[in-house]
Structure 1
Amino acid sequence: MSINEEIKTPLIRTSDTSSPEIENSPIEQVALTVPITDDTSLPSFTFRTWILGTLACGLLSFLNQFFWYRKEPLTLTSISAQIAVVPLGHLMASTITKRVFFKGRKHEFTLNPGPFNVKEHVLITIFANSGAGNVYSIHVVSAVKLFYKKEMTFVVALVIVITSQVMGFGWAGLFRRYLVDPAAMWWPQNLVQVSLFRYS
């Protein structure tokens, strides 16, 4: 994108949905890799999503934090979980019962709504990505305990960690319309993951 081009995504969303405009990316690599359509028939918040996503988030969070204290830290990224959950998702799709619980009632559901799909895969990877990065405020908690030899109660440490995390998510939400929504904004590192999603 040149300096003279302007970002065409509106910064203030209007409620006028009579003429939805689908904006494709002006960057060729993004336009070829990222689809601009959505298959609304695919289920996303499924039993598989919650089980595999929570497992991937917890496992990556534990392993990355555990190995962070080593002299040469080992880092596992969400791509490792993204690759690992594909066979697990397909295995769960083929083995879990398709029985419908509370059939005919308001809250009927099934543990297996069909084949493992790309929406489930994306959500599981988002779960994994949430746990893959170290919480930076843990560095503060660790420094207080290890270097300053001060005791910090669990509640104080938890408040510090949650405060920094919530503040980070808040900043992400504030800048979403500038850094995510415009089609001209692109993140080359994410194209690899999007390419993998297309072949799950």
Structure 2
Amino acid sequence: MTVNIDGSLFDMSKPKIMGILNLTPDSFYDGGHFSTQKEILNQVEKMIDEGADIIDLGGFSSRPGAKEITLEDEEKRVLPIVKLIYKTFKNVLISVDTFRSELAKKSLDNGAKIINDISGGDLDKEMFKTIGKYKVPYIMMHMKGIPKNMQDNPNYEDVTVDIIKDFSRKIENALSQGINDIIIDPGFGFGKTLNHNYEILNNLELFKIL
């Protein structure tokens, strides 16, 4: 499997390493830990040295119960760092974790090459159109609900089948809007119980039908 990035084929037939850099004060793991440009660049360099193929930047905390922030605040967190990393590390692929099409546009205009959308297009109906216009790889994640309420008793008839059906519908819509390169993410922990997560893990092979 390959995806097109700036006219070059990026081989996805083997697992790739994505280094995560959360630009939020309340993320799952490193929120608030990297706050200065020097700290950020040092961390990016460390991840690249350790084998990261992609650096993923997020400015909106998606932890359960996270508070929403405005588009303006998210842009202030993310865009300067996209520009900084693009200027400093020309050969690294930058992914931006956002469900907002406006931030996706601005990020792509400033050096990002991949958009990673935790909502799979559900939270901004302009996202598919934006990705289709820019012709970049799109990571489509499954999430039931929104970060604020996604862990409030999530339920499914059959979690694997339900997610595959949801992906199938969204992929058809995305393709119709010009998106060529789609990477799916079943969204472990996003609107799923621990048992749901294990069931998805045990059935990952089924997602190949997509």
Larger CA Rg, structure 1 vs 2? 1
TM-score of the superposed pair, with normalisation by structure 2: 0.30
Structure having the higher strand fraction is 2
